[in-house]
Structure 1
Amino acid sequence: MRTIMTAALSAVVLTALFQAPASAAPQRRALDWKACGDGLECAKLTVPIDWKRPDGPKTQVDTAKLPARDQARKLGSLVVNTGGGATIQPVRATPAVVSELTTWFDVILFDPRGYGDKGSEAMKECRTPQPSVAGLVLSPGEAGWRAQSKANAAYEASCRKAMGAEYAGTNSWQVAHDVEALRGALGEPELRYLGNSYGTVHGQMYLSLFPAKVGRMVLDGIPDHTRTSLEKWMTAYARTQEQQLKRFRDWCADGCALGGDDAIEVFDDLLARVREAPLPAGDQSLNEQEFLVAVTERLSQPPTWSRLAAALRKAADGDATELAGMRPLPPEDPGYLNGATLCHDFMPGTPSYRDFLSIESRLREAAPRIGWVQGRYLMGRCVGMSGKPANPPAPLRVKDVAPVLISIGDLDSTTPRLGAEHLAAQVPGARVVRHGDGHAAYLMQGAGGLNGTCLREHVHEYLTTGALPPSGARCPGDLMARVPRG
């Protein structure tokens, strides 16, 4: 299973439904913590499969605790979800992403519905893997649309079979209720929460459903779950990715494998050439669709920009072999539930092929070089799925809530900056700290041993004292400073 750094992109629907929180009181029974290896204590949280029927059938959610180093002086519990599907297993593998937080807190990890610790019955595997996110780019015609739809439908059917009756609880509306039950079981009067990537979707739903219970909340790498317009949401992705190409050009201007050549001019020249004929790539070749996918993949991963620059240099000089190797990760086999959950949350309804082409024409106007490709990535995740149980996006209408800290990366196109800004504007009293790194910066800095960075200091000061960064706070790109340019 892939790490917590795996991107969890999202999509939206044309209309939004407003759902009230379930009336059931959260679970108050204390959790039964037991040592489970790697310095963790584990416990099962029992919750309804459907919080709209709190007395109905139950399921269990896996939780794990990294105990505070000094139990006598700890500040309480901090609930953490790292996004990308599972949380507990990836933290076992790379504890440094959150271990510094045990200076002050019992760090409580939880896995959303369908995920769980190693060997747990809560972890469900979908026998049929989800197809590549790049499928609609590599096969751009109507036949490719039908093939992607069929493959997604088969993947979802295998997930539904694996989950059985529990499949009815697979969306972030249900998970937010699980988080509230977890808060109650921990005995905390308010929720302290750190959500990364898809963990911020659960955080957004919690804000909407239980604003009075929010104590302190950090959201980093935000898929915006408040856009009700499919086209506007896709446009945010497209424009952010188009800006990403310009930021790559600016980064390269300070020295990279392209020498003194302008990165955008090199891209434009290669795109014009590949539209005339495939680029030579050793014993193979690289066509236009494969070229766009390769560049898209690396633009979204700023720590690999030196490799992108070197590959573009070699392609411009006549050998696109390295560029051809920059393909998306192959589908996970077996599949996992996060792809289906994403569609339940963001796209329970999808446009027809012809309606999408109309949207795409406007995406090409807004982001003509590379950004428009994002529309096909997003549709490729959900086309063909049923979208049920649905939890479609809706504006975040919250009046009385404690201040929330939102982290926005200048180089985050995985969960686009424009979406994070849109969400931040809807949270009263929210404070934004910007930084020069990309997606999942807080966790990635921890994994890299960068524990004293500007971003992490702001996060820790807020979580421990409630003090927010000053308005307009900005941190450098501490991860990008390590990226080699040669």
Structure 2
Amino acid sequence: MRAAALCSAAGSLLLTTLTAAPAGGAPHAPDASAEQRGTAVAAARARAAGIDFGKCPADQSAPDGVECGTVTVPLDYAHPDGKQIKLTVSRAQATHKDPHNSKRKVPRQGALVFNPGGPGASGMYFPVIGLLPEWKRVAAAYDLVGYAPRGVGRSAPLSCQDPRQLATGPAQAPTRPSAAYKKQRIAGAKAYARGCALRAGSALRYYNSLNNARDLDVLRSALGEEKLTFMGASYGTYFGALYATLFPSHVRRMVLDAPVNPDPAQIWYRNNLGQSAAFEDRWADFREWIARHDDAYGLGDTAEKVRHSYETARTRLAAEPAGGKVGPGQLQGAFLAAGYYDDFWPSRAEALSAYLKGDPGPLVRLATPSAGTAAEAENLNAVYTAVECNDAPWPTDWAVWDRDNTRLARVAPFETWENAWMNLPCAYWPAPRQRPVDVRTGPGELPPTLILAAERDAAAPYDGALEMRRRLADSVLVTERDAGTHGIAGGPNACVNAHVEAYLLAGRLPVRHASCAPHLEPKPESKPGTPSRQALRDRLKGKSDRL
């Protein structure tokens, strides 16, 4: 029971003194706050204006049938007559076509709005998912609606640095960083936080999860929907749960896929520590899979031997980066993606095997950063940082970060320090911090909600799904056992998909919490899918999601 042992060890380490509000003391959403009144004003205006859908921008590469528009929201909901920003929206209207009966016309049930997480991921590509067989029945009954949340893409884009300044050279990513290396990363975190403040100005504080939830209600109204049907994945489950807390009477149906832990005391510092511990388990799963296929890869017939092969590659890359650009940091990033999706396992194992046998080509192709996506990556990182830093208190004393991550890295070295550096700007954040809302609904306040989780999800550890179920009364949890894919709706598990379809199409949930057997593991010769299908999956789920 390695997972239980590590979680127990991590739990004993994360006894950090932090000024976050405890679960019982965080404020429940006030009914008559200025922001609530502002949301009502903005929603009424959006309903009157609607969304003028038309041709999508050329860089969207949208297929026929997908259209785009914008919805206007206040930057600050406490002042709905103040500065306004526009969120981009995409839509594919319900096809009405039953994929199993060409003569049957399926009635429209409304709009299904999707968010893929992040924070910072865009849902603009979501309507294209209706082209996939797993989604055709849902696409027949619903308009599939995606959007770019505030700060993302064309939606009042947020930036913290010039994308040309993004590191493109080989990175080291030490698992036991030296004092000098830590000092360098602290300086970088401070500079990044300053850059966010300089580029965003006074608007920086308004990029947060509560405003994402309020924006969702304005979008609902602009679409002409009396009640919202929503699917959120990863971070999207958190502000989906905030929406349920703020606007329970506005919910029709809600699917929360790969939930993050909504406990106010976990947002976001402790959640990230828990994530780092969980990635160690998933990294072990991956190594065990490689070991079972030693005849294909020759990386070792035990998980420990595979670890040794990986560390050998790290050492070589530190001395001489592959292709001049792939160092230990790029290697770690490529293998981190395999912690999210096991269909990435064959390509990563193959690249590592080829590199150690003298052919760096597959690893270079897999792990070299793409200059063409630098602006998108910078924007995603800026929104991720702003939202998480704004949402809650973070430790402001480096000694706390150093203590917690040093202890955790002893048992979970794979991701701990890289995750810490990703979030360290929050220690020096210049904008005011919020107290997280106490996500919670009582019996009968919210329509029954469907929660989906893979038992070994590393990016959103399973305890988050259990906590979400406890906090949203009348919710039902469907678990994919012994699996770790981050986001399981519409994937390869027919059992999971049947529960999603029954809920979205008929409002039907399991009588009690259900479980599904795991989907089949990939085979060494398997590929992630055709290029077009894989590109779509990457766009929808967001390989770079942190939560």
Q: TM-score, normalised by structure 2?
A: 0.70
Q: Determine the C-alpha separation between the residues in 2 that align with 1:211 and 1:145.
A: 42
User: Counterpart of 1:401 in 2: which secondary structure?
Assistant: coil
Structure 2 residue 400 is the aligned partner of structure 1 residue 363: no
- Matched letter for residue 372 of structure 1: T
* Bigger mean CA offset, 283-292 vs 13-22: 283-292
Q: Which residue number in structure 1 is paired with residue 240 of structure 2?
A: 203
Q: How far 1:104 moved relative to its partner?
A: 0.8
Q: Which one of the candidate residues 78, 83, 91 is aligned to 2:117?
A: 83
* Bigger mean CA offset, 174-183 vs 129-138: 129-138
Structure 2 residue 293 is the aligned partner of structure 1 residue 255: yes
Q: Which residue number in structure 2 is paired with residue 458 of structure 1?
A: 499
Q: Determine the C-alpha separation between the residues in 1 that align with 2:336 and 2:123.
A: 30
Structure 1: runs of 5+ lacking an equivalent: 1-11
Q: Which residue number in structure 2 is paired with residue 417 of structure 1?
A: 462
Q: How far 1:176 moved relative to its partner?
A: 0.9
Q: Which residue number in structure 1 is paired with residue 182 of structure 2?
A: 142
Q: How far 1:217 moved relative to its partner?
A: 0.6
User: Counterpart of 1:77 in 2: which secondary structure?
Assistant: strand
Contact 1:127 1:158 in 2 (8 A): no
Q: Which residue number in structure 2 is paired with residue 475 of structure 1?
A: 516
* Bigger mean CA offset, 282-291 vs 353-362: 282-291
Q: Determine the C-alpha separation between the residues in 1 that align with 2:320 and 2:72.
A: 57
Structure 2 residue 416 is the aligned partner of structure 1 residue 372: yes
| Alpha-carbon displacement from aligned partner over 1:425-453 (angstroms, at most 9, x marks no partner) | 3222222222335123336x3xxxx6x83
Q: Which one of the candidate residues 452, 468, 488 is aligned to 1:441?
A: 488
Check 1:437–1:232 CA distance in 2 against 1; reply closer, same or farther (3 A cut): closer
Structure 2: runs of 5+ lacking an equivalent: 1-16, 57-63, 97-104, 528-547
User: Counterpart of 2:263 in 1: which secondary structure?
Assistant: coil
User: Counterpart of 1:351 in 2: which secondary structure?
Assistant: coil
Q: How far 1:459 moved relative to its partner?
A: 0.9
Q: Which residue number in structure 1 is paired with residue 541 of structure 2?
A: none
- Matched letter for residue 36 of structure 1: K
Q: Which residue number in structure 2 is paired with residue 407 of structure 1?
A: 452
Q: Determine the C-alpha separation between the residues in 1 that align with 2:172 and 2:471.
A: 33
Q: How far 1:218 moved relative to its partner?
A: 0.5
User: Counterpart of 1:35 in 2: which secondary structure?
Assistant: coil
| Alpha-carbon displacement from aligned partner over 1:363-420 (angstroms, at most 9, x marks no partner) | 135x34425346425435645443x364454542321322221111245323333333
Q: Which residue number in structure 2 is paired with residue 15 of structure 1?
A: 20
| Alpha-carbon displacement from aligned partner over 1:220-263 (angstroms, at most 9, x marks no partner) | 13333434256642342132112112322443354352476112
Contact 2:213 2:239 in 1 (8 A): yes
Q: Superposed, which structure 2 residues align to 1:221-370 within 5 Å?
A: 221-229=258-266, 232-256=270-294, 257-258=297-298, 261-268=301-308, 271=311, 295-313=335-353, 327=367, 329=369, 332-333=374-375, 335-336=378-379, 337-346=382-391, 349-365=394-410, 367-370=411-414
Q: Superposed, which structure 2 residues align to 1:4-153 within 5 Å?
A: 14-16=19-21, 18=27, 20=30, 22-24=35-37, 25=40, 26-27=43-44, 28-29=47-48, 31-37=50-56, 38-70=64-96, 73-84=107-118, 85=120, 87=122, 89-91=124-126, 96=131, 100-115=137-152, 122-123=156-157, 128-129=162-163, 137-138=173-174, 141-153=181-193
Check 1:311–1:323 CA distance in 2 against 1; reply closer, same or farther (3 A cut): same
Q: Determine the C-alpha separation between the residues in 1 that align with 2:318 and 2:68.
A: 53
Q: Which one of the candidate residues 203, 207, 216 is aligned to 1:179?
A: 216
Contact 1:219 1:405 in 2 (8 A): yes
| Alpha-carbon displacement from aligned partner over 1:68-124 (angstroms, at most 9, x marks no partner) | 1239821122222233435454346766466653211122323211235xxx57456
Q: Which one of the candidate residues 416, 425, 429 is aligned to 2:474?
A: 429
User: Counterpart of 1:23 in 2: which secondary structure?
Assistant: helix
Q: How far 1:160 moved relative to its partner?
A: 0.4
- Matched letter for residue 461 of structure 1: A
Identity %: 24
Q: Determine the C-alpha separation between the residues in 2 that align with 1:314 and 1:390.
A: 47
Q: Which one of the candidate residues 392, 398, 421 is aligned to 2:441?
A: 398
Contact 1:238 1:374 in 2 (8 A): no
* Bigger mean CA offset, 194-203 vs 38-47: 38-47
Q: Which residue number in structure 2 is paired with residue 8 of structure 1?
A: none
Contact 1:64 1:108 in 2 (8 A): yes
Contact 2:251 2:447 in 1 (8 A): yes
Q: How far 1:215 moved relative to its partner?
A: 2.2
Contact 2:189 2:421 in 1 (8 A): no
Q: How far 1:463 moved relative to its partner?
A: 1.3
Q: Determine the C-alpha separation between the residues in 2 that align with 1:180 and 1:236.
A: 31
- Matched letter for residue 36 of structure 2: S
User: Counterpart of 1:413 in 2: which secondary structure?
Assistant: coil
Task: Say which structure is richer in helix.
Answer: 2
Q: Which residue number in structure 2 is paired with residue 218 of structure 1?
A: 255
Q: TM-score, normalised by structure 1?
A: 0.78
- Matched letter for residue 31 of structure 1: G
Q: Which residue number in structure 1 is paired with residue 7 of structure 2?
A: none
Q: How far 1:58 moved relative to its partner?
A: 2.8
User: Counterpart of 1:184 in 2: which secondary structure?
Assistant: helix
Q: Determine the C-alpha separation between the residues in 1 that align with 2:74 and 2:517.
A: 44
* Bigger mean CA offset, 86-95 vs 241-250: 86-95
Q: Determine the C-alpha separation between the residues in 2 that align with 1:320 and 1:261.
A: 22
Contact 1:137 1:376 in 2 (8 A): no
Contact 1:78 1:192 in 2 (8 A): yes
Q: Determine the C-alpha separation between the residues in 2 that align with 1:424 and 1:374.
A: 30
Q: Determine the C-alpha separation between the residues in 2 that align with 1:307 and 1:160.
A: 39
Check 1:346–1:244 CA distance in 2 against 1; reply closer, same or farther (3 A cut): farther
Q: Determine the C-alpha separation between the residues in 2 that align with 1:296 and 1:72.
A: 41
Contact 1:345 1:392 in 2 (8 A): no
Q: How far 1:206 moved relative to its partner?
A: 0.4
Check 1:332–1:385 CA distance in 2 against 1; reply closer, same or farther (3 A cut): farther
